[in-house]
Amino acid sequence: MKKVILGFAILGVLVIGTPIIGSMVTKGQKQTDNNDLPQQFDRLNILIKKEPSYVVTNSKEAVKQEPGGYMYHQSAISESGEKYDLSYYAGDKLKENAILKLDTKGRFVETWEEVQKDDVPTNVLEKLMN
C-alpha cells in the first residue's frame, strides 16, 4: 500500500512540477514555427494566471503556414504591463497596425480579437504605441 501511495505522490509531483519547471526553463526562449514547447508549458502551469495581452499587428512578423494561414511572432504587453514574446495563428493576413486583445495564459494564446484604442488600458496603450 505504501508503494502505491508513494507512486501516486511521485506522479502528482511530476504532473504538477513539470509544467512549472518547464515554464521557468523556457522563459527566455524565442518561440518559432518548430517550437511551441514554451506555449504548452505555460498552458499547463497552474501558477500562471490567465490575463489579456495586447499586440499591434505587423505583417513583417507573419510567417505563411502550409496549408494556409499565418503565424505571427510578436512582442505583447500583458494587462499588468509586462512585455514578452509570443506567437499566435490567424487564418488570413491581419489588417496592418490593428490592435488585438489576446486571451493568454503566459505565452499560450487561446483566442484573439481586434479591439479599438478606447478598449485598451491606458498603461498598456502607452507601451504599445512606443
> What is the arithmetic mean of pLDDT over 44-70?
86
79 or 16, higher pLDDT = 79
Q: What CATH code would you report for 2-128?
A: 2.40.50.480
**Grid coordinates 509531483 are at which residue?**
13
Q: How far apart are the first and last CA of the chain?
A: 61
> What is the arithmetic mean of pLDDT over 24-50?
69
**Which whole-number Å values give the CA distances from 81 to 60, 84, 112, 127, in the listed order?**
24, 10, 18, 8
* Residues contacting residue 22 through CB under 8 Å, at least 6 positions apart: 37, 40, 41, 45
5 or 56, higher pLDDT = 56
Residue 17 phi, psi dihedral angles, 5° rounding? -75, -35
The set of cell numbers assigned to 103 is 486571451
User: Where along the chain do its domains lie?
Assistant: 2-128
User: Nearest to residue 57, comparing CAs of 98, 24, 1?
Assistant: 98
pLDDT at 53 (0 to 100): 92
* HSE, side-chain direction, 13 A CA sphere, residue 70: 15
Which ranges of the chain would DSSP assign to H, the alpha helix? 2-25, 37-44, 122-128
pTM for this prediction: 0.75
55 or 87, higher pLDDT = 55
